[in-house]
Amino acid sequence: MSGDGNAADQGPAHRTVEIGMAIAMGLFAILVIYGAWIAGVGWGFEGPKAGFFPFIIGVILLGATAINLRNGLQTSDTKVFAEWSQLKQVWAVTWPIAVFIALVPYIGIYVASVLLIAFFMMWISSYGPVRFAIIAISVPLITFLVFERWFLVALPKGPLEAMLGY
Amino acid sequence: MAEFANLFHGFATVLAFQDVNIFGTTMYLPFNVFIMVVGIVLGVIIGVLPGLGGANGVAILLPLTFSMQPTSAVILLSCIYWGALFGGAITSILFNIPGEPWSVATTFDGYPMAQQGKAGEALTAAFTSSFIGAFFAVIMITLLAPMVAAFALRFGAAEKFAVYFLAFASFVGLSKEPPFKTLAAMLIGFALATFGTDHMTGSLRLTFGSNLLLPGFDFLIAVIGLFGIGEILLTMEEGLKFKGKDAKINLRVVLQTWAKLPQYWWTYLRSCIIGCWMGITPAGATPASFMSYGIAKRVSKNGKNFGNGEIEGVIAPETAAHAAGKSALLPMLALGVPGSPTAAVLLGGLLIWNLQPGPMLFVENKEFVWGLIASMYLGNVVGLIIVLTCVPLLAAILRIPFGIIAPIILMFCAVGAYTVRNSFFDVIMMLAFGILGYLLKKTNYPLAPLVLAMVLGDRAEEAFRQALVGSGGNLGVFFSNALVSSIMALGFIALFWSVISAGISRVRGTNTATAG
């Protein structure tokens, strides 16, 4: 049953994503116009008010997205945006990043990085545990030295660093 | 020639010895040269790795330079940029994977050459071409930038806005993406720049009562997200596997290749001019490399063989890409309008170091400007030596599995995003921009205008509003004198260029039709 007609089985249609993007941008444009309207779009005491420029930008953006939307609707392109298996790959990196970011305020960026690197190495590469540990621990450790010691840039730290006196 | 005196002063700044504290020991060494080497090595690595490019590499490292002297800081960051330009060619030729968008055209003939066992020759040609393109651009900057800056000193608010208008209009008109998509991407950038405090009146706008939106969106976060995270998501989707050719570069190959290159002098000159032109107008290195390759293919007597490993097909795009990459700094320094996303990030750096890019920079911060220009000459030479000697080492980096490289790059992106303003919200925004970047790229929205609009949004708005305040709200101010009118007119020509050129070719078409 494979063939040209079955593009929908392989992944979302490019056209759908294209239309979705245009609609999302249109909504963003409306948000900007609304926000600019609240801030005042007219001519104030000292010249144009704060919302003057964003209002113009929002209106042109709305116009441009309308044309992009029309082009998206008119296209007869049946190509696939990406195959489901490819999107799965993308998702497989997106959620670990999200978890990594969510963990940073609690355990600090260094420990979270150790976990992130360890996770990826376990998942993608087939390294033995020793090499594994060396890379997962040494990279954040070097980063720690570079940032906290040499450049004196403070990054988010968690209980482990506090225990060690940082 | 005041420029040459200034330039020599610049060389003195770069080569000056100073006491430097490294790892607790004080050493007496030419710190800026040391910084230059570090920057180029870092840059080449950044250029070689997928997911890290010039723009976001510089963006991630920018916060580390806050405490440095501006001259050293800009040397470090600009050398990363030069390094990244060099590095892109290595992956293109050896792995058929462009490390940077501007080296896509290099894969067309570079990889076939590597397959034929001529990798060393292709790499030497690529690096030498990069060097020549960059050198041409730097000479042009040395000669032209002071003149442009002196001329721009006469600009008022209306002229300033007209220059911004010209820059952005050329994006829409010259982009290879659909014009309304370019326009939409650019306007999103402008809109994002307006969130938070209005710098002219001090009042708040578009915050919708949220404290998180008070400081607005920082363009560095957008760069790290769009170019860094977005690129990694794309790489994951493509399921990249690195299978590279071996590179053997030795002195004999280098000398043999060099002996061949002079016969292509016309290709070099043409590519340099295309590159400089595309770099000054904000089209950037990527279109420059494609255009140069396309023209070389059309006019070369070996044109038919392009795509099968023709050395000219490596020379043309590499020369143009580097010429464009370097000359993008001319409008940034002289007018405050960056010609590429990476130049935009550097401009953001200048603002952070309290230097106002634009014509006044040449008057008030001579040492900084000429130090930077001198470092471009020296950095170019240092870069050529480093890449010619380190290719096997750099190719080895690419053999590290992506499963290890990806999380490390992600970590650096997060660190970079956090350090911009010590804000955790920014790290979350980085991921949001990353997903946005992935979607935009997949649907053919160009990212460069978005970033440039975010960087220049405030300044363009300020010029626009100041001009209107001066004229009492009359839009005629943008056509009030010959100078501003001609810049605006150029802007409109650039904006509608695709329509105009289509019209011209149609008229020509009918002419030939009637003639025939």
ipTM of the complex: 0.91
Q: Does B246 touch chain A (CB under 8 A)?
A: no
Residue A98: which pLDDT band, with cuts at 50, 70 and 90? very high
A75 in reach of chain B (CB within 8 A): no
DSSP state of B67: T
- The pLDDT of residue B278: 82
Question: Is A132 part of a structural domain of the chain?
Answer: yes
Query: Chain A within 8 Å of B139 (Cβ-Cβ)?
Result: no
Last residue in a domain, options A26, A52, A74: A74
Among the candidates A25, A45, A74, a domain finishes at A74
Alpha carbon distance A100, A110 (integer Å): 10
CB spacing of B191 vs A86 below 8 angstroms: no
Residues of B in Cβ contact (< 8 Å) with A43: 473
Residue A51 lies in a domain: yes
Dihedral through CA B355, CA B359, CA B360, CA B366, nearest 10? 80
**Contact residues for B47 (Cβ-Cβ < 8 A; gap 6+):** B53, B54, B83, B84, B85, B86, B87, B88, B90, B91, B99, B100
- Residue with the two structure tokens 């759908």: A16
B/e letters for B144-175, b = 16+ CB within 10 Å, e = fewer, are: bbbebbeebeebbbbbbbbbbbbbbbbbbbbb
Q: Is the dihedral of CA A152, A155, A156, A161 positive or negative?
A: negative
Whether residue A116 is contained in a domain is answered as yes
Q: Highest mean pLDDT: which of A22-26, A90-94, B89-93?
A: A22-26
In a domain, A79, yes or no: no
Contact with chain A for residue B428, Cβ under 8 A: yes
Cross-chain Cβ contact A50/B200 below 8 Å? yes
Place of tokens 């916060």: B63
Give Cα separations from B510 to B24, B496, B501 (angstroms). Answer: 75, 21, 14
Q: Which domain holds residue A54?
A: 4-74
> Do A63 and A24 lie in a common domain?
yes
Of residues B237, B403, B422, nearest to A124 (C-beta)? B403
Shared domain for A53 and A101, answered yes or no, is no
Determine the 3-state secondary structure of B116 from DSSP.
coil
Q: Which residues, at least 6 apart from B296, have a Cβ–Cβ distance to it below 8 Å?
A: B267, B270, B271, B303, B306, B312, B313, B315, B316
Average pLDDT on A34-51 reads: 86
The pLDDT of residue B126 is 92
**C-alpha–C-alpha distance, residues B33 and B14, integer Å:** 7
Instruction: Look at the block and give the residue holding tokens 């010609």.
Output: B339
Q: Has residue A56 been placed in a domain?
A: yes
Does a structural domain hold residue A102?
yes
| Cα distance between residue B358 and residue B332, in whole Å | 7
Q: Which residues contact B231 (CB under 8 A, 6 or more apart)?
A: B50, B51, B52, B53, B56, B437
Give residue A2's pLDDT: 39
Chain A residues in contact with B239 (beta carbon < 8 A): 86, 89
**Does A29 map to a domain?**
yes
> Nearest chain B Cα to A72, which residue?
B443
Q: Which two tokens stand for residue A108?
A: 């600090």
Backbone φ, ψ for residue B18 (5° rounding): -150, 160
User: What count of residues does chain A have?
Assistant: 166
Instruction: Delimit the domains of chain B by residue range.
Output: 32-515
Count of domains for chain A: 2
Considering CB atoms only, which of A21, A46, A86 is closest to B201?
Answer: A46
Using alpha carbons, select from B458, B401, B469, B486 the residue that is nearest to residue B217: B458
- Where among A48, A74, A100 does a domain terminate? A74
Q: Give the 3-state secondary structure percentages of chain A, helix then strand then coil, rounded to 5.
A: 75, 5, 20
Do A154 and A125 share a structural domain? Answer: yes
Q: Mean pLDDT of successive 10-residue segments in chain B (516 residues)?
A: 79 77 66 88 84 82 82 89 85 77 83 88 92 93 89 88 87 81 94 89 86 87 89 80 64 86 91 87 74 87 86 92 88 84 86 85 87 89 89 76 83 90 92 95 89 87 90 88 90 85 78 49
Domain match, A97 and A150 both: yes
Type of residue at A160: L
Strands A43-44 and B25-29 come out as unpaired
- B190 close contact with A: CB closer than 8 A: yes
Are residues A147 and A90 located together in one domain of the fold?
A: yes
Of B23, B178, B191, the CB nearest to A32: B191
Is 80 exceeded by the pLDDT of residue A151?
A: no
pLDDT at B51: 66
Residue of B nearest to A95 (CA): B431
Name the 3-class secondary structure at B392.
helix
- Residue linked to tokens 């040209």: A4
B201 phi and psi angles, rounded to 5 deg:
-105, -15
Q: B208 and chain A: CB distance < 8 Å anywhere? A: yes
Q: Please check whether residue A104 lies inside any domain of the structure.
A: yes
d(CA A145, CA A105): 20
A143 touches B at CB < 8 Å = yes
Instruction: Tell me, yes or no, whether A88 and A63 share the same domain.
Output: no
Q: Do A117 and B407 count as a contact with CB atoms less than 8 A apart?
A: yes
Query: Is A39's CB within 8 Å of B205's CB?
Result: yes
List, in sequence order, every residue forming a beta bridge with A80; answer none if it has no partner.
A13
Maximum Cα–Cα distance across chain A: 70
Maximum CA extent, chain B: 81
pLDDT of residue B1: 62
Beta-ladder partners of A48: A43
The string of pLDDT tens digits covering residues A104-142 is 999 999 999 999 988 888 776 666 778 778 888 888 888
SS3 at position A47: strand
